[in-house]
Amino acid sequence: MTNAYDAAYHRSIHDPEGFWGEAALGIDWVRRWDKVLDDSKKPFYRWFAGGVVNTCYNAVDRHVERGRAAQAAIIYDSPVTGQTRTITYAELKDQTARFAGVLAGLGVGKGDRVILYMPMIPEAVVAMLACARIGAVHSVVFGGFAPNELATRINDAAPKVIVSASCGIEVNRVIAYKPLLDEAIRLAAHKPDHCVLLQRPRSVAELTQPRDVDWAVAMETAVPHDCVPVAATDPLYILYTSGTTGQPKGVVRDNGGHMVALRWTMEYVYGVKPGEVYWAASDVGWVVGHSYIVYGPLLNGNTTVIFEGKPVGTPDAGAFWRVIAQHKVAVLFTAPTAFRAIKREDPEGLKIKDHDLSSLRALFLAGERSDPDTVNWAVTKLGVPVVDHWWQTETGWAIAANCLGLHEFPIKPGSPTKPAPGWGLEVLDERREPCPAGKVGSLVARLPLPPGTLTTLWQADQRCFDAYFSEFPGCYKTADAGYIDEDGYVYVMARTDDIINVAGHRLSTGAMEEVLASHPDVAECAVIGAADSLKGQVPLGFICLKAGVIRPDSEILAEVVALVRQKIGPVAAFKSCTVVKRLPKTRSGKILRGTMQKIADNESYRMPATIDDPGILEEISGSLQDIGYGKGRPA
């Protein structure tokens, strides 16, 4: 018997216009579209051509008009400042309309760009929505990014205004943003007309007159601005992601398709009803923050949680459980890295018992591969469905997921379940031929991509084509490797450049990481491929041990090497592994495997702009030298 997922998936692939045209009825339109899917400029498809909308109206105003004025739109929970406050939909409408008036008063209009360089505070959401309200294009840059990285984004987006705060607050330190912002503007060829600064009491910034404007002062006299109608195909935002050339890629998202897709996913992927509390424990600087801290929940009439803290250290490994219990969170979405950190500090999950988690209905993980050990730990400790789902900055929402609002499939640890409706996912080999079930190849998606995905790269159509559409004609290249099993479950094993060639055998570092993570003493791990004169490449393993482990490292290392040999086979040539205190990561939690590989191969590397702590790379270099590998240095 066909279930709701099978029916939805079949229709989305064979009748995409009918499927997404129906989904679009969940959005309020100023003017209906002329064509659901415009395929006149393949592979640059456009959704809802001719339609006119406003994203801010759909995310805020319509809920105020239809009975949700007094409902909490935002719960701000900041253990680093000791603050918790609630903003209703009515209050959010007022603040957003006023800040839209501030921007308009500074000369910002439809199509102008505004860069936001903000910490995890409600004003970051207000600024994003205010841009959408007047048809401006926002580009959020993670607060605290290095000046040269911010400068490259200023040059590419050419913003009329930059919105920032005086500082960001980490677990035990205050990061002054104003000096970083001033230096970025000095370095940039493009100069913004104005900067709007929100002063935070932990570090008050000195304003540069007449360029700088005080947020609070401007809001006092601002004239509230109405929503400006824009074309459904007009850009809503630019979000920069790392490029292989060192020049960031500005992923462009539109207004119409973006709204349709995200509101649909809240109901059918996450199974969340309007009025419920939804928490994406991420940052507004990343795609997860755009899609599921801000737009998705608000479009669906949910209460969204903005958390200015960490999974451990604010104050301990029980932080997530406290937030869920205190605010009655129904669905949590976070990165596997967060759960690995919690599991490492509290391997028995004892702190869970201190809180009432009865409101929690599901946990969603994304951002990195969810190793089976972490998934099983979460399932056992929480007793709710744990959904590993797979997506990318470019896609904006899940490529594959266990769509809880359609049909809950049995979980297979290590798999994000099945392709989400709209995603014609295939696995192709090096000859661009389909791979049989279970065989690893390149994961690609047949065009057209569903709504809500990238429309292009900012002012770089050719670069977009070269990066995503040229290698596999008629498809979007995910740059991820994996396979689809005989039941249709997707397995994402590694980035395609993380498939290593050991003596002619193509092997997945992700599969080896699964084995390492299954060891009872291992909290977190990574595997890279290092150059080898005999075999071409050989795998190197890095493991972080759980808190409280007192056995000798040598015993554990011997066991994990034997485990890989047993589970993967001698062909893996897995012999070198080392214990490290921590792994180098981006601020979104992704392990910097490529940088680690360059260090191992004694190559120079570019210091990643998003690295959480640059000092970790020195530790990794030392560990690699201890096992006989290189000592690459920053370029």
- Is there a domain that residue 364 lies in? no
Output the average pLDDT for the chain: 93
- Is there a domain that residue 30 lies in? yes
Instruction: For residues 536 and 447, state if they share a domain.
Output: no
- Is there a domain that residue 118 lies in? yes
Number of H helices, E strands in the chain: 20, 32
Residues 6+ apart with CB under 8 A from 54: 30, 132, 133, 135, 227, 228, 229, 230, 255
Q: Rounded to an integer, what distance in angstroms lies between the CA atom of residue 569 and that of residue 94?
A: 62
Q: Give the pLDDT confidence score for residue 295 in this predicted structure.
A: 98
Instruction: For residues 606 and 573, state if they share a domain.
Output: yes
Q: Give the pLDDT confidence score for residue 628 in this predicted structure.
A: 85
Q: Give the pLDDT confidence score for residue 629 in this predicted structure.
A: 86
- Is there a domain that residue 558 lies in? yes
Q: Give the pLDDT confidence score for residue 588 in this predicted structure.
A: 67
Q: Give the pLDDT confidence score for residue 497 in this predicted structure.
A: 61
Instruction: For residues 450 and 587, state if they share a domain.
Output: no
Q: Rounded to an integer, what distance in angstroms lies between the CA atom of residue 182 and that of residue 151?
A: 10
Instruction: For residues 466 and 514, state if they share a domain.
Output: no
- Is there a domain that residue 97 lies in? yes
- Region 126-140 average pLDDT: 98
Instruction: For residues 465 and 555, state if they share a domain.
Output: no
- Is there a domain that residue 451 lies in? yes
Least confident of 63-72, 539-548, 594-603: 594-603
pLDDT band at residue 635, thresholds of 50, 70 and 90? Answer: low
Radius of gyration, CA atoms only, the chain = 24
Residues 6+ apart with CB under 8 A from 26: 260, 263, 264, 267
pTM for the whole thing?
A: 0.86
CATH number at residue 262: 3.40.50.12780
Instruction: For residues 406 and 459, state if they share a domain.
Output: yes
Residue 632 scores a pLDDT above 70: no
For residue 457, CA distances in Å to 151, 453, 466 come to: 18, 11, 11
Residue 567 scores a pLDDT above 90: no
- Region 108-118 average pLDDT: 98
- Region 229-235 average pLDDT: 98
Q: Give the pLDDT confidence score for residue 506 in this predicted structure.
A: 63
Percent of the chain with pLDDT over 70: 97
pLDDT band at residue 124, thresholds of 50, 70 and 90? Answer: very high
Total domains present in the chain: 2
- Is there a domain that residue 323 lies in? no
Instruction: For residues 156 and 257, state if they share a domain.
Output: yes
pLDDT digits (tens, 9 = 90+) for 147-206: 888 999 999 999 999 999 999 998 888 999 999 999 999 999 999 999 999 999 999 999
Instruction: For residues 266 and 410, state if they share a domain.
Output: yes
Last residue of a domain, one of 482, 515, 549: 482
Domain encompassing residue 578? 503-626
Residue 356 scores a pLDDT above 70: yes
Least confident of 15-19, 98-102, 627-631: 627-631
